[in-house]
Structure 1
Amino acid sequence: MIDLVLVGIGTGNPDHLTLQAVRELNAADLILIPRKEQNKADLADLRQTLCKQILTNPACRIAEFDMPRRNTADPDYRHGVVQWHNAIARVWQETICTHLPQGGTVALLVWGDPALYDSTLRIAARLEPAPQIRSIPGIMSLNMLAAAHTIALNDIGAPFTVTTGRQLRDHGWPNGSNTVIVMLDGDCSFQFIPAKDITIYWGAYVGMPEQILLSGPLTEIGPEIITTRAQARACHGWIMDIYLLRRSEAKQ
């Protein structure tokens, strides 16, 4: 039998791991770390560095695996994602069987929290035989963004919406909220909505030493964010960013 523990690690800063996360990682027999394409090697290195800093159990082993790539040319987005998840599950299965053939506890380090815009739980459900799955919460990027900019996520008694760049680009501003938090946006989709009377709070590598923060009226700061984001991605080979949009009608 396999016990699979999905551990939210926030942005990968060891200071932001919960005590529960540290305990769970030290109790694991095997920790899986994905390797992405060469220009994203830093992501695997960050996970390895994190493990070196917090692991005290010498019996815990670490195994890296090559992360399958999603077919972005598939015109059916959902179909492409499902096929990608199936491929990832197969790689997990093979890696676990190779390194832990007698069973035990396997841990996966998940950026942010496993419950928010992350597919680790859905991929884990594809494993056969089905493992015992536990999810350990981590600090979410939206919490880190608000802390970095010293702002509140919501107005008094008001809702806010968390959405993706794809949804903002294709469907515009969500109804019912003056505050919108946008994740998973590789296209700077804020440039496709009317910018008047909107303030943006943007952050990249939030909580990491490379952290970059920009904020101000979207009409003024939007172009600077686009340029800064492109430069940071070229420099590091990857980027993780998030931003909050707030209409001026919202009382602060």
Structure 2
Amino acid sequence: MRELLLIGMGPGHPDQITVQAVNALNRVDVFFRIDKGDARSGLNAARDEILRRHVTRPGYRVVDIPEPPRDRSPSLTADEYQGAVRDWHDARAELIATAIGDELGPDGVGAFLVWGDPSVYDSMLRIAGRVLALGGVRFDYSVIPGVTSVQALAAAHRIPLNRTGEPIFITPARRIAGGLPAGLDSAVVMLDSGFTAAGFDDRSLSVFWGAYLSTPDEVLICGPLAEVAAQITATRAELRERHGWIMDTYLLRRDREQPAGEE
């Protein structure tokens, strides 16, 4: 039976891929790659460098799969957003099923290199299930975890993700458009189409922001949100224009006095 590996590739630096992932890479006959077009060629360049650096077996192939269109309008309601994502996943699943059936032999090993970790805000695990549900191709699949951009952000800024006794809260930006929920003093924000926090009227917040984490293009900004929000907004726009794409995340943290005895 065919086998499909979903390999966490980390935030893009080839040294941040795990030994388990390197071993998995060297079992693969066909690497499938979603082609998002020239504007995001940097994403595929990172994948190519990982293969060049770590794959020693000869004869593997790379197969590109076109990215289906998706409605990314920030004005979508919650229900409309969920529907747009479902339609996008279904379209991806059909294209992936066709590629697996056409390009991977009945006993072959295929793989997707997944940005960061397959379990953190990535669609490939859900789409793999959709591909199987279509019934056209059968395969077993495994997940190889990877370093996330959340970990890379904390490492780059040399901060822990949580303070003593506090939870770690990770959210897409659209869920905090009106500010942090009551009682929440910190949040890691992902999947932001702009810089949502720039609109917050909360002078108690600090921000730790990073783009292209762990890559040669990495950019970091931190400080009181009220003081650096405009800088982050302008920098983000300039970087997107320069590279044609951007991947960024940030930690928002409410400043507070440290309780006695806390370290």
Normalised to the residue count of structure 2, the TM-score between the two structures is 0.91
1:185-217 CA distance string (max 9 Å, x none)? 012110232231111000000100000000000
Name the counterpart of 1:235. Answer: 242
Would the aligned equivalents of 1:28 and 1:105 in 2 still touch at CA under 8 Å?
yes
Aligned partner (choices 99, 103, 110) of residue 106 of structure 1: 110
1:33-87 CA distance string (max 9 Å, x none)? 1211221122122212221111111032221121112133676111111110011
Q: Percent identity?
A: 38
Name the counterpart of 2:92. Answer: 88
> Partner of 1:126: helix, strand, or coil?
helix
Superposed displacement of residue 120, structure 1: 0.7
1:142-172 CA distance string (max 9 Å, x none)? 1100100001111112113111111111x53
Q: C-alpha separation between the residues in 2 aligned to 1:87 and 1:187?
A: 26
Name the counterpart of 2:159. Answer: 151
Normalised to the residue count of structure 1, the TM-score between the two structures is 0.94
List gaps (5 residues or longer) in structure 2. none
Would the aligned equivalents of 1:33 and 1:63 in 2 still touch at CA under 8 Å?
yes
Name the counterpart of 1:125. Answer: 129
Aligned partner (choices 227, 231, 234) of residue 224 of structure 1: 231
Name the counterpart of 1:192. Answer: 199
Confirm whether residue 27 of structure 1 aligns to residue 27 of structure 2: yes
Name the counterpart of 1:68. Answer: 68
Amino acid at match of 2:102: T
Give the alignment's Cα RMSD to 1 decimal: 1.6
Superposed displacement of residue 103, structure 1: 3.7
Aligned residues: 251
Q: C-alpha separation between the residues in 2 aligned to 1:141 and 1:164?
A: 13
Deviates more, 1:68-77 or 1:122-131: 68-77
Q: C-alpha separation between the residues in 1 aligned to 2:108 and 2:228?
A: 50
Q: Which runs of 4+ in 1 moved over 3 A?
A: 72-75
